Amino acid sequence: MLKYIYPSILFISVVFISGCGGGGGGGGSGGSNTPTTTISLSASSSNLYADIGENASATFTITSKTDNLVIDSAKLTTQTVNISGISRPYELFDNNCTTGLNDNGTCSFKVRYSPTSTSQYFSTADINIQVGQKHLNTSLMGAEKTFIYTSAATPANSITFNSHVNPLNVRLFDSDELNYTARIQNNTTQSLSNVKLLFEDALKGVKITTTNNCVDNKACNIASINFSPKSLASQGESNSQGTKLSLNFKLKQHDLSYNLGYLKFTSYGKQYFINPLYDLGENIPQPLGSFITFIKQLSANSIIIGTTDGLYFSYDNGLSWHTLDQYHTSISAYNNTDSTSFVSTGDTLLVYDYDTQTGLTSAIKAYQYNQNSKLIPKGEIIGIFLNQNKDKLIIVARGGIAIDSYDKSTSTITKSLHYYQVTDLSINYIVKAIFDNSKWLMLATAKKGVQTYQYDNTNNNITLTHSYTTTSINEKLPSDNITNISLYHAASPTNDALFISTIKGLVAASYLNGALSNINLTDVTYPFTNSIDIIDNKWMIIGSQLNGLSVGKYDPSTRKISDVITYKTTTQPSLANNYVTALSRKDKTLLVGIAKSGLLKIPFNSTSASSKDFLDMTKVSQYTQTPLLPPYTISSLQSEGNNITITTTGGGVCTASTDPQTYQLSINNCYNTTSKIKLPSNGVTNALFNKNQLLLGFDNGLSIAEYKDNAITNIHTFLNTHYISSIAQKDTTLFIGTTDIGLILAKLDGSNLSSLKTYNNPVLPSDHITTVKTANNLVFIGTLNGLSIGKYNPDSQNLSNFTTYNASNILPDSQINALAVKNGYLYIGTSKGLVIAKYDNNKGSLSDIHTYTTSSSIRLTNANIATLSLYSNNKLIIGTDSNLLMVATLNADNSIKSITSLTLPSESYTSIKSATLLGNKLLLGITGGNLLLGEIG
């Protein structure tokens, strides 16, 4: 999970040297003129943040200053400066201290941090500087930029934050409080101190108590977060995005800071949750990891799943993304009739036509509270119902109820008939709604118990008929704070029952035409039961927010539950999370939504003798085709037809495929150092398709993988001591960029490499290659110190006639981050701007040069370019080191006509690292393991 880093440490070391006075002379006041020499060291930062495949650097300045004495500047340069203690993953560069101090008594050097798979989390360099006979010491910390959340196996030498100890989503009410425990897993051999969990913005109703230390190789409860939702209510509308949550700690005397994302909240009664990532609509959906809000069977072969990330449509056990492309957001309610669906996304109601076989949608209409205040009630929509004639809609939201005319021939809401605010109904807000027999509207409320209203189909209004609270005269509830209601129609109407979830436990009552009787607490005494299902009139399944999944025998005549068995995180068999969000059935399988763990399929046997045998927990499977991508920076994307290879900086490589019509992406296989086909490292830097092969670059070598049907069948590894930064190909010749020995030219011979030749400094401007591209017989080589263009001779298999470009001639900066080649033009992305130039196929020289920076006439919004992709015939996609994407429209001569800047709507997307084309859509790889799919107009 990606965190933001705010390095702001200035580290200073100082050594004082006093003169001893010499020879005769001097008077009584001579002591006041004793010379004092101060040698100091300053650094731009003492912390460097980078993930595998990235680098960060700091500048150190040595200063010698002598008071009360004039020093011959020529003598300063004779003071030798020796620097030691710098080794991988650190690198000394731009060192101008090799000839001693300059005339001003200063010199500087730089240190670059480039983490590898063996040093990717935290490492320090203890740097020693000797100036003449004097010594200075300082420490430089290299730290990961992405923060890995706790999984089944936490990496060694890492620190992970566990957001799964308590429920991710919690329903709170104005009389309740909740304590949330935050845990940290310190897998390093160092103790952490000054550990603090902080809100960036002060909030009423939230109190954090933190501990100070977390010792080495321990799991620590670092904070207790206390929520008082009554105080939070006023914050709900004013701060809908939430507040940033950060984690600070000291490791080896270095202060580190990570942004954990947002604590999101709205007015009380809604869901409060700590969610470290946004899923914003452009994301390729992943059912595993989504928060499921409901499961509904549409037909014998299809179900629909509502999640906080959108809708999933399943047909014959295949899971696909419901095609509401612009509404990939939290789904709070759903209903359907004939071939029309009604979906609520917060305060918006969508009405659209759909195909029950494919899930494809059309004719989408959107209605919002703020646009149609009398058609849509205020607040999150929680219930959508149709009357018996299907020409009226009853829409229930947290803040009220609307009754509207509905034209089923055009699937259009035509006008408002009645509108009720919660204040009109003398309640504060509505938690759940049930519409029974097209007549009885039952409302669960937070402070007014259960209310029943009769719907008049002639006058299209509702009238209160029954109210059940703790102060009712006859039938009393144990609590007025209701969290859920569930209606069960038994085989005999006399056994119909309403189950009411209260903060004091589960209540069962006889039900008849909206009226309740025989209200009693059941033996299920825990609060927050979210879902209830009764199977074959004798088995009750209960999903709760805090207590997992329970199964018990149910007697419909007495409404009693017995022989209850519970499955949760601490039982065997266990659940991944105690928060069960939704229940449904399909054939002889129970479908269970688990918070942030997707959908489970569990076979059941209704002829079982006991509750413990009812569910076959040995055959639990996740209802999804696609595993999650590893939560690491996506280092490269390669596409060939409908096949995609996704490489990551710490989670290995995944193969995927897309549907050419719907662009649904399926992750087929993922490989790492522990998979059946083992990779040499989890740090995969890039990939290249080659017929039935997949060429993979690693932080410790290059592999040739035998590749068939989107799967790797075998793997051969070479160059296992070098970091491979880029791979390009010309026929059977590979051009392999490294970060330490320059460019390797190799012959690809089946699954082997031969005829290796190396090109490095001074032939190339640097041994650190960042990217390589080919066109015709030209090879374009990007480095940290400039661009080199070489001509390739296929007969001799040699490179020659190199031409170099850098900041001293045509480039805005010498650090080359990205290259793209098309139709005789080269696109060069640097850390300070973009150059577009025409290249000569024979000479390799560049002409018709156009340069774009943050100060050029056609201005870049961010000049630190991370990736370049050509889209359509006249679009250049420019990814940056921030969540900013630029789309440049090109003229006929490939100069830029205009630039549109698109800010990705989440600050969690802090860098666009890679891009590839899928038909007419653009697939972007983002730091933190996200994929974004979009179409550029």
The answer to whether 265 and 155 are in contact (CB under 8 A) is: no
Residue with the larger pLDDT of the pair 881 and 747: 747
DSSP helix, strand, coil percent of the chain (3-state; round to 5): 5, 55, 45
Task: Please give the distance of CA 670 from its chain centroid, rounded to a whole number.
Answer: 18
Does 918 have pLDDT greater than 60?
A: yes
Specify which residues 350 forms β-bridges with.
343, 366
Of the candidates 432, 509, 425, 411, the one whose C-alpha atom is nearest the C-alpha of residue 462 is: 425
Of the candidates 929, 917, 914, the one whose C-alpha atom is nearest the C-alpha of residue 637 is: 914
Kindly state the average pLDDT of the residues 306-313: 64
Does 358 have pLDDT greater than 80?
A: no
Does 31 have pLDDT greater than 50?
A: no
Of the candidates 679, 604, 607, the one whose C-alpha atom is nearest the C-alpha of residue 648 is: 679
Helix (H, G, I), strand (E, B) or coil at 494: helix
Span 493-515, pLDDT tens digits: 899 999 999 888 899 999 999 99
Does 12 have pLDDT greater than 60?
A: no
Question: What pLDDT, on a 0 to 100 scale, did the predictor assign at position 857?
Answer: 93
DSSP state of 613: G
Residue with the larger pLDDT of the pair 283 and 242: 242
Does 901 have pLDDT greater than 60?
A: yes
Kindly state the average pLDDT of the residues 368-389: 84
Q: Looking at 129-143, 527-541, 647-661, which range is the least confident one?
A: 647-661
Question: What pLDDT, on a 0 to 100 scale, did the predictor assign at position 583?
Answer: 86
Kindly state the average pLDDT of the residues 333-339: 80
Span 103-113, pLDDT tens digits: 888 899 999 99
Specify which residues 912 forms β-bridges with.
926
Does 530 have pLDDT greater than 70?
A: yes
Residue with tokens 């914003």: 280
Q: Looking at 34-43, 472-481, 620-629, 669-678, which range is the least confident one?
A: 620-629
Does 556 have pLDDT greater than 90?
A: yes
Helix (H, G, I), strand (E, B) or coil at 26: coil
- The number of C-alpha atoms within 13 Å of 377 and in the hemisphere containing its C-beta is 28
Residue with the larger pLDDT of the pair 902 and 874: 874
14 pLDDT band (50/70/90 cuts)?
very low
Q: Which two tokens stand for residue 926?
A: 């983002």
DSSP state of 52: T
Q: Residue 606 contacts by C-beta under 8 Å, 6 or more apart in sequence?
A: 535, 536, 538, 539, 588, 614
Of the candidates 438, 274, 918, 302, the one whose C-alpha atom is nearest the C-alpha of residue 642 is: 918
Share of the chain above pLDDT 70, in %: 73
Question: What pLDDT, on a 0 to 100 scale, did the predictor assign at position 200?
Answer: 62
Span 781-818, pLDDT tens digits: 999 999 999 999 998 889 999 999 999 999 999 999 99
Does 264 have pLDDT greater than 60?
A: no
DSSP state of 76: H
What would the DSSP string read from start to end of 108-136?
EEEEEE---TTSSSEEEEEEEEEETTEEE
Share of the chain above pLDDT 90, in %: 32
Residue with the larger pLDDT of the pair 34 and 489: 489
The answer to whether 82 and 59 are in contact (CB under 8 A) is: no
Kindly state the average pLDDT of the residues 357-379: 70
Span 60-97, pLDDT tens digits: 999 887 765 544 555 555 678 899 999 989 999 999 99
673 pLDDT band (50/70/90 cuts)?
confident
Please state, rounded to an integer, the average pLDDT across all residues of the chain.
78
CA distances from 911 to 4, 242, 455, 871 (A): 11, 22, 54, 19
Kindly state the average pLDDT of the residues 398-404: 92
φ/ψ of 30, rounded to 5, equals: -60, -25
Question: What pLDDT, on a 0 to 100 scale, did the predictor assign at position 818?
Answer: 93
Question: What pLDDT, on a 0 to 100 scale, did the predictor assign at position 355?
Answer: 55
Q: Looking at 212-221, 395-404, 762-771, which range is the least confident one?
A: 212-221
Question: What pLDDT, on a 0 to 100 scale, did the predictor assign at position 820?
Answer: 93
Question: What pLDDT, on a 0 to 100 scale, did the predictor assign at position 473?
Answer: 86
Span 190-247, pLDDT tens digits: 888 888 877 765 566 677 777 778 888 877 777 777 766 555 533 333 343 456 667 8
Q: Residue 914 contacts by C-beta under 8 Å, 6 or more apart in sequence?
A: 634, 635, 636, 637, 867, 879, 924, 925
585 pLDDT band (50/70/90 cuts)?
confident
Question: What pLDDT, on a 0 to 100 scale, did the predictor assign at position 463?
Answer: 95
Question: What pLDDT, on a 0 to 100 scale, did the predictor assign at position 455?
Answer: 96
d(CA 662, CA 645): 19
Question: What pLDDT, on a 0 to 100 scale, did the predictor assign at position 500?
Answer: 94
At 551, the amino acid letter reads V
Kindly state the average pLDDT of the residues 829-846: 93
Residue with the larger pLDDT of the pair 109 and 664: 109
Q: Which two tokens stand for residue 300?
A: 């014998």
Residue with the larger pLDDT of the pair 674 and 759: 759
d(CA 688, CA 379): 50
Among 29-33, 374-378, 540-544, the range of highest mean pLDDT: 540-544
